[in-house]
Amino acid sequence: MKALVTGASGQLGRDMVLLLEKVGHTVLACDREQMDITDQAKCHDIISSFSPEVIIHCAAYTAVDAAEADPDRAYLVNAAGTRNVAMAAEQVGSKLIYISTDYVFDGNSEVPYVEYDNTNPQSVYGKSKRAGELLIQSLSTKWFIVRTSWVYGHYGNNFVKTMLKLGQEKPKVQVVHDQKGSPTYTKDLAEFLLELMATEKYGIYHASNSGWCTWYEFAQTIFEEAGRLVPGFSLHAELESCTTEQFQRPAPRPRNSIMEHLSIRTNGFNDLRPWREGLQEFLRGVHNQTITRP
């Protein structure tokens, strides 16, 4: 199958490209240099010339706090850019997978969110990603929307790498204990997307590693497992829990980011493995130079 990946230099994009190539698909990997998704003509030209059978749209503006001060940029990339990809995909008859986020919900639910719950994003980032979802649904006929959460992988910056670095360098690390969700390893998410793209089971999916924890519990587990699995890792920091109010950020965070995998079950897909197992595999591949670089 011919597959085009946007955001190919990002955390998920790089793992997606590697997996697609490994299993024998023909891949066009596009980062911002190859295809600026905010340039409608460029999107049209590249997608029409390659004529992919599936597009995995990983490119996004993900600077959650910065988006509060620069909403135009967030909407330019996440809404207008997604529109450009969707229109070009439709013209060549391509399937389109759009990677979305738990931030489309307000986080106030007492139970996990299912795919068809009402959205109510509270941040500029969440609103701009929801705008992208709406444009996909309006402009595409062969679409998958895949919402995920708390993503980490071997490429780029993420919470796991930050904790490994701070845990070795700082005397104390504070992490919020009143926000809960599901950590998601990019390799596991990519495996699900590979399975999904081969089907015509279109619609909205929630895809994260199964189970949940708070950010504090996630950090606890990172330190515990790193002590066993990462060569040379030595924990110096004392881990301390705090509240969201004690750790103020420009953009509001959902208190509850747990997403039920209803569509995965009802469409007969294999669920993603437990989040702790994904973390263990990630840590087995970590080397000191990976966790200490800026």
* C-alpha separations of 108 from 55, 180, 244 in Å: 33, 11, 14
Express each pLDDT in 254-280 by its tens digit: 999 999 999 999 999 999 999 999 999
- pLDDT for 286 equals 87
Helix (H, G, I), strand (E, B) or coil at 244: coil
Q: What is the pLDDT of residue 187?
A: 98
| Structure tokens, 88 | 């070009």
Paired strand residues for 241: 175
Query: Which residues, in sequence order, are bridge partners of residue 148?
Result: 101
Provide the residue type at 99 as one letter.
I
* 130 φψ region: left (φ > 0), alpha (ψ -120 to 50), beta (else): alpha
Per-residue confidence in pLDDT tens, the chain, 294 aa: 999 999 999 999 999 999 999 999 999 999 999 999 999 999 999 999 999 999 999 999 999 999 999 999 999 999 999 999 999 999 999 999 999 999 999 999 999 999 999 999 999 999 999 999 999 999 999 999 999 999 999 998 999 999 999 999 999 999 999 999 999 999 999 999 999 999 999 999 999 999 999 999 999 999 999 999 999 899 999 999 999 999 889 999 999 999 999 999 999 999 999 999 999 999 999 864 444 433
Q: Check residue 247 and give its pLDDT.
A: 85
Residue reference for tokens 């997403």: 259
The terminus-to-terminus CA distance of the chain in angstroms comes to: 37
Which stretch of DSSP H or E encloses residue 185? strand 184-185
Three-class DSSP category at 33: coil
Is 125 tagged catalytic?
A: yes
Q: Of the residues 75, 113, 125, 152, which is catalytic?
A: 125
d(CA 255, CA 87): 35
Task: Provide the pLDDT for residue 292.
Answer: 43
What's the confidence (pLDDT) of residue 112? 98
CATH dotted code for 2-158+182-212+258-276 = 3.40.50.720
